Amino acid sequence: VSVIEAERIIANHERMPHSPEYENGSAYTQDTYRPIEQGVVPITDAGFIHADAAYDVVSASAGYMFRMQDHIKRFTESCAKFGLENPYSEAQTEEILNNLVRLAGLKDAYIWWAVTRGELEEGDRVSAQYKNKFYAFVTPYMFIHGDELRTRGAKVKISTEFKRIPKESVDPTAKNFHWMDMKLSVFEAIMSGAEWSVLTDFDGNLTEAPGCNIFLIKDGVLKTPDDGCLEGITRQTVFDLAEELEVKLEVTKIPVQELV
Ligand SMILES: Cc1ncc(COP(=O)(O)O)c(C=O)c1O
């Protein structure tokens, strides 16, 4: 791809009519739709205090949700892996997310939702004691990087200071709030003059990058880590495209030395 113009194209998408209070986005908290500025989390919510939550994110582009059913299904699976119960059904969840996009009038949107364990209470050492809570928000689509950087490619640092949290500690296939390894690796990368980071596991195999799965092409073969990462919907889309284009794909362990 020689020219990437995602930002310019999005800037040309006319926004749908919406109430001015939803200009910056919309939120759904305490079972109520609100302007995003009024979307708040109770301070004793275990999601906030203990990162005790599952979440998901989907984007809308030109008014189309990207593989919404796949995201909803993954979210249900993430909740199950952490013993969380979404107070809303899959159909209700989808309806809430659609309503949030509609309220904000956005065609290109960042759509986030989560179920947390809920507010701390006496007896909270037993999961069943909690009342799990649902939160969601929608904002104008946010890019991690701009068109210029995407066109030339980012300078990436393989973190030397931080390893990906082991899958035996927090299951990375369940989308979760444990971002400290990823966030600090980005700060490390930026401080060393790079633009994004990639993390390895404790055996020196590539896992993923903050907010994205990784692929490399070596000797005409497309490769991606088999383990220690989120089973991303974008990753699945790359699998689908590789099959369609008959590109050889290996889902395998990738020692960091393969990049040298
Ligand atoms: C850690 C991590 N890996 C990968 C991804 C990419 O997942 P998807 O393609 O489903 O958006 C994300 C997305 O937020 C992520 O947080």
* Ligand 1 centroid – CA 230 distance (Å): 6
Query: Residues lining ligand 1, CB < 6 A?
Result: 57, 208, 211-213, 229-230, 232-235
Q: Above 80 in pLDDT, residue 260?
A: no
- The CATH number that applies at residue 21 is 3.30.470.10
Q: How confident is the model at residue 9 (pLDDT cuts 50, 70, 90)?
A: confident
What are the structure tokens assigned to 177, written together? 């709030």
113 and 237 fall within a common domain? no
What are the structure tokens assigned to 23, written together? 């200009």
Helices (DSSP H) in 134-224: which residue ranges?
Answer: 147-152, 180-191
Over the stretch 110-144, which tens digit does the pLDDT of each residue have? 999 999 999 988 877 888 889 999 999 999 998 88
pLDDT value of position 106: 96
Phi, psi of 215 (to 5 degrees): -135, 150
Structural domains in the chain (count): 2
Q: Which of 115, 140, 165 is the last residue of a domain?
A: 140
User: Cα(141)–Cα(162) distance, rounded to whole angstroms?
Assistant: 29
Q: Which of 140, 171, 195 is the last residue of a domain?
A: 140
pLDDT value of position 164: 98
132 and 160 fall within a common domain? no
User: Cα(110)–Cα(48) distance, rounded to whole angstroms?
Assistant: 21
pLDDT value of position 123: 72
pLDDT value of position 129: 87
In a domain, 84, yes or no: yes
183 and 236 fall within a common domain? yes
104 and 161 fall within a common domain? no
170 and 99 fall within a common domain? no
pLDDT value of position 116: 98
Q: Above 80 in pLDDT, residue 149?
A: yes
- The CATH number that applies at residue 208 is 3.20.10.10
User: Cα(161)–Cα(193) distance, rounded to whole angstroms?
Assistant: 15
Q: Which residues pair with 252 in a beta bridge?
A: 225
Domain containing residue 198: 154-259
Q: How confident is the model at residue 162 (pLDDT cuts 50, 70, 90)?
A: very high
User: Cα(111)–Cα(58) distance, rounded to whole angstroms?
Assistant: 5
Residue of minimum CA distance from atom 1 in ligand 1: 211
Instruction: Return the closest-CA partner of residue 159 out of 181, 180, 139.
Output: 181
Residue of minimum CA distance from atom 5 in ligand 1: 212
pLDDT value of position 125: 83
* Ligand 1 centroid – CA 161 distance (Å): 22
